[in-house]
Structure 1
Amino acid sequence: MTRQSPSRRVLPPLWILILPFVLAVGRAAAAAAAGPESEPITSVAVGSRTVFAVTRSGFHQGSLESRTWATATVPASMARGGAVVGDPDGDLYGWTVPGVVLESVSPGMHVGASARTAADGAAEFACHRRRGVDGPWERVSNEPIDQLLVVGTHLFAIARAVPDGANTQRVLRSADGGRSWADLTPREGFGLMLLGMRPDPDHPGQVCLLGNGIRNYILQSPDGSRRWDTERELAWHRNRMAKDPFAEPGADSGVPVVTATLGTYFRHGFGNSPKAPVLGLEVGGARSFPAGGTAVVVVRLLHRGVAGSGAALSVVDLMGGTAMWGLNRVTPSGKAEMFGPPGDAAGAALRESRDWTADPLPSGGEWKRTLDLSALAPFTEKGRHRVQVTYSSGRVADPKRNEWAVRLASPVVEIEVR
């Protein structure tokens, strides 16, 4: 009888045992390497020496001198997500953004409801103010604020209804830094969903609102009371020949943008916005000319070449048609008025069709051209003029069809005829 040796247990190779551990460590290291540096900035405010930013991981304070970031200490009621805005005095306002939870009404069906307490999944409603660079945060309001805006010496807020957070929005104004609020909401309500607010270009010191009810509307309160005038957004823009105050760079507006992160913020000059246009328009060269002489300015169309923006291909595609240049005169009230109606001599002096297919704008490059202002009546006489150059490009040559792929406007500059 042959004696068999006991069966041996076959062990897997060592690498199979340690592989899950190695992968877990690698994932943790990758996450740590990415860290908050790669998180998009959702809100930012720039002061005289510091910049304050909000990301998914919390609040961060950066130094404009050293261009570095540090985690900021904020009150507990702000720690679960919020936003920040600055005022001309260098003070900061930080507030908790109201959250949303889902309430179950039947199996497989949920409806949205405003979160009102920490138990509902939202941080406590609160608005805080910090004076100066290193001052402490002071709680000034418990209002459930969705948006906050500083206009002159006043704070304006779009806030949710209290106490139950129903679908009624309020517009509030504070003259004492958020301690007390005047309600500017019409007694019958707005009848629209409020999407945003901006400084009112027609009424200094007031705000205008963007509301939606099938279409977009702009609401204005000329005297800062509960009375609001409503006008369709498109009509508002056409009646003023001025930029829509709610127009923002983005794919829909034909201006590609890149979103700031803590790692890219200081490299690309985002300022008080977490987004920056990939395309830019600048007016350079001489800005002072003798009366009766030639007045020629240099205009540069820039592509900032921000890595990872994915805009280089878009720019090449967008430049496959024609280009139109224009000039706006900016009035003392801030309105932008076009020089002459389309088709007259003034318009023709600033209009050009160009085939960009053979001359695409490279990533990180620029394209220069000159604009001769001598043929325009205002520049034949002595004086100072605040102007803005505009540029539109697209595949459609007929401007009446309004199908331009890119619309840009330069910063306002002053042209002197001496």
Structure 2
Amino acid sequence: MCQIIRTQIAKVSFFLLLVSTSSVLAEPPKVDELDVRLDEVLRRKTDVLVTSSAGIFWSNLEEKKWQKRTLPAQMPIGGKFGVVPTDSEQILYYSPRWHKLTEGQRAGIYGSTDAGQTWQLLSEGGEYGPVAMLENGSLFAVTNAEQINRQPSIAVSRDLGKTWRDISGNLSGRVHGLFPDPDHPGLICVETHCIRGYVEQADDENYEWKSTISWHWHPERREKVSFGRPYSTSSSNNPLYIFCATLRNYFDYDFIYGASTPAIDLSTGAERFTFRTGEVLAVPITIRFLQDLRNDKMPIVEKLIDHPANLAAWGLRWEFQGERSYKSPGIVAAMSRIRDEDSAARSKGLPGFREEKQNALIAGLKGDRAWKTVEFSAMAPYRRMLEIGKLGDFAKPGEYRVQLDYQSTYLADRKDGPWIGSFSSPVFTVVIEP
């Protein structure tokens, strides 16, 4: 378990070299490789590949048994996966700039189309990343990765890395992502950062980049209710706990597409619940601390603030018949409402009242002695029944996809012990029968 607390194209040689691995039987990982922290995860429809300092490993999602891939001697380990189209057989892998090569290793972009059993060195170079391939086969790559105070360099290849064309143009800032352009099929969008985040977009293959602040790019995105597992903390002395994936624990926890997950874990007692119209809609929830007690001698014990009846710390996301809705935690909604009313009053020249009303709201809630501080750990989770019918609209019969949110930022005080922040559950299903 790891904790996180507070946090010109390069001159390269382009060629295609087939570097097939030797024909050997698939071998399972060694015992000392099982607990090595994973660096990257590439989860596909039926299988998953992962990288670590021990190598590259593959598993079928049904069997959940790891096989270690035999790599060419010149292929560096500890690299990253590139972006590829959904359901594509193509795998892209590149070694990061800071990776130290051993004798005979060759940095660059490698490709595989047989789930990592054989690899091709598509293009040699020591400063690749990020890397992405589109549906039309165009391969894009930053060629001076992790540049600081230099213009970023990006190139595109139409022949899988044999030859490249510089499309850097007027780009600036540090590049941290590439993704398919949703407005111009066949083109790429670039995520950059320079004081704040930007999305760089072009109208055609001349790539005359137009820069938009990330927050303003496709603003309708902010109006969509998204499912995910947001996790945050806002107190300087409050740890943001992260639980890291290994080969041993990957299939036991909700890592899905990443190599880590929030260590404060919220889950429900099942993936599917069925109720009849008119019944009380309550589901069992469990909050536990994810920790590998085989490696850590003492369990970490944390605290949360909660109330048996007042659900001000709880919110809900739900989807019904293709439409998603969201009800934010009551305390968050109330504080936002006071803020908006205060802003409207000030715009009319009236005196502000935000701080006074917000303090009164918090004092009123904390005056309820039913609020309690509960403890949880890997050994002793916190459990309760949560009446989701008070949080979302389940009036119509049918199937709902649901996700819970918890938010204690305004209610808890770290000096009194509770952890302050927010986290969410995995998505589960609620069925309402007539």
Same fold per superposition (TM over 0.5): yes
Match of 1:105 in 2: none
Find the partner of 1:219 among 199, 206, 223: 199
Distance 1:301 1:404 in 2: 13
Higher relative contact order (CA 8 A, sep 6+): 2
Note the C-alpha offset of 1:326.
0.6
Counterpart of 2:243 in structure 1 is 258
Cα 1:170–1:39 change in 2 (3 A) is same
2:316 aligned residue: 327
Match of 2:341 in 1: none
Asked if 1:53 corresponds to 2:45, the answer is: no
For 1:304, the equivalent position in structure 2 comes to 290
**Pairs aligned (count):** 353
Aligned equivalent of 2:327 = 338
Q: Give the secondary-structure state (helix, strand or coil) at the position aligned to 2:393.
A: helix
RMSD: 5.4
Correspondence for 2:277: 291
* Seq. identity, %: 19
Once residues 330 and 200 of structure 1 are traced to their aligned partners in structure 2, the CA distance between those partners, rounded to angstroms, is 27
What do residues 294-334 of structure 1 show as CA deviations (whole Å, max 9, x unaligned)? 32233322333322469943x52x53688811112348889
SS of corresponding position for 2:394: helix
Q: How far apart, in 1, do the equivalents of 2:232 and 2:75 lie?
A: 29
Return 5+ residue gaps in structure 2 as ranges. Answer: 1-29, 336-364
Shift of 1:275: 1.6
Question: 1:121 deviation in Å?
Answer: 11
Tell me the amino acid that sits aligned with residue 193 of structure 1: R
Report what 1:361 is aligned to: 376
Listed one character per residue, the Cα deviations across residues 109-157 of structure 1 (whole Å, up to 9, x for unaligned) are xxxxxx9xx89998332231232474x3234455753134678887875
Q: Computing the radius of gyration over CA atoms, which structure comes out larger, 1 or 2?
A: 1
Look up the match of 2:106: 123
Q: Secondary structure at the match of 2:42?
A: strand
Question: Which range moved further: 70-79 or 329-338?
Answer: 329-338
Letter in 2 for 1:324: A
The 8 Å contact of residues 375 and 382 in structure 2, kept in 1 or not, is answered as no
Rate the CA distance shift 1:160–1:168 in 2: closer, same or farther, 3 A: farther
1:387 aligns with 2:396: no
Distance 2:299 2:420 in 1: 15
C-alpha distance in 2, partners of 1:288/1:222?
A: 48
TM-score by length of 2: 0.59
CA pair 377-237 structure 1, distance change in 2 beyond 3 A: same
2:412·2:420 contact (CA, 8 Å) conserved in 1? Answer: no
Deviation at 1:389, TM superposition (A): 0.8
Q: Give 1:372's aligned residue.
A: 387
Q: Where does residue 231 of structure 1 map in the other structure?
A: 214
Query: Residues 331 and 363 from structure 1, CA distance in 2 versus in 1: closer, same or farther, beyond 3 angstroms?
Result: same
| 1:259-306 Cα shifts (integer Å, max 9, x gaps) | 234454455564442223322222346633333443223332233332
Q: Which residue in 2 is equivalent to 1:195?
A: 176
Kept in 1, the 8 Å contact 2:155–2:165? The answer is: yes
Task: Look up the match of 1:110.
Answer: none
Structure 1 residue corresponding to 2:260, chosen from 255, 266, 275: 275
Q: Partners of 1:195 and 1:289 in 2: how far apart? A: 45
Secondary structure, counterpart of 1:169 in structure 2 = coil
Counterparts of 2:230 and 2:179 in 1: how far apart (Å)?
A: 10
Amino acid at match of 1:56: S
Cα shift readout 1:4-62 (whole Å, capped 9, x = no counterpart): xxxxxxxxxxxxxxxxxxxxxxxxxxxxx995445322123345776433222433445
| Offset at residue 205 of structure 1 (A) | 10
* CA distance in structure 2 between the partners assigned to 1:153 and 1:217 by the alignment: 28
The residue aligned with 1:18 is none
Distance 1:172 1:335 in 2: 39
User: Please, which of 94, 97, 103 is the counterpart of residue 96 of structure 1?
Assistant: 94
- Alpha-carbon distance, 1:360 to partner: 0.7
TM-score normalized by structure 1?
A: 0.60
8 Å contact 1:49–1:133 — kept in the other structure? no
**1:109-120 mapped onto 2 (5 Å cutoff):** none
In the other structure, the counterpart of 2:37 is 40
Cα separation, 2, equivalents of 1:238 and 1:54? 32
Query: Following the alignment from structure 2 to structure 1, what is the Cα–Cα distance between the partners of residues 298 and 159?
Result: 44
Aligned residue for 2:130, secondary structure, equals: strand
Aligned partner of residue 197 in structure 2, secondary structure: strand
